[in-house]
Amino acid sequence: MIQTIPPQSGVAFKLAAGQKLKISDPKGEQVSDLVAFNAHDIREKISSGKTLDYESTIFITKGNFLWSNRSQKMLKILEDTNGLNDFLLAPCSPETFKIIYDNHDYHPSCFENLHTNLVPFGITPDEIPNAFNVFMNVPVAPDGKLSVLAPTSKAGDFMILEAMMDLIIGMTACSAEQSNNYSFKPIEWEILA
């Protein structure tokens, strides 16, 4: 059953070993932050550093694995029709909007949408790792300078990931203006049989 994450919100759910998760961008140009924890020991979680190290690339896509802080494979990317994702930047948080956007009013964020949805699984805000940012476009210039550009994803682009262990997944429809070409859209997800 296809489920929808409304704009600027999030969800958390269990994904058993062998199950496949499809993440779709129904309108295009919308980022989804994804975190994963070992369902049997939440101290084990997705690791950007281990993934970039073992996969030897910063551009994680079809064929790559997402690794844990304990050097175990957590997810394998089976399909990625857009092919451009980010694993360098942390989830947008209330402070992101103060520091980058000079916005001191309340602003929804992936960090809040992850930790509030993960409460039922016993996960606290400080345990939220660097997220795998599906559809996020963060090019790195030769001098090392980072940019956050509009996603290249078009309406209907999707990713399919297979769980390598029993997982707790947290996912968002990202709330940051720059990351989503200044409009907030939903994200769809589905656990495939």
Contact criterion met (CB below 8 Å) for 136 and 179: yes
Name which position in 89, 164, 174, 187 contacts Zn ion (CB under 5 A): 174
| Bridge partner residues of 33 (DSSP) | 133
- Number of residues interacting with Zn ion: please give it, by CB under 5 A: 4
Binding mask 100-139 for Zn ion (x = CB under 5 A): ----------x-----------------------------
For residues 36 and 165, which CB has a smaller minimum distance to Zn ion in the complex? 36
For residues 100 and 192, which CB has a smaller minimum distance to Zn ion in the complex? 100
Mark the segment that binds Zn ion (CB under 5 A) among 18-26, 58-66, 147-155, 173-181: 173-181
Both structure tokens of 80: 């990625």
Chain CA centroid to CA 117, Å: 14
74 binds Zn ion (CB under 5 A): no
In the complex, the smallest distance separating the C-beta of residue 78 from Zn ion, rounded to whole angstroms, is 24
66 binds Zn ion (CB under 5 A): no
Q: ∠ at Cα 172 (127, 189), nearest 5°?
A: 120
171 binds Zn ion (CB under 5 A): no
Burial 109-146 (b: 16+ CB within 10 A, else e): bbbbbbbebbeeeebeeeebbbbbbbbbbbeeeeeeee
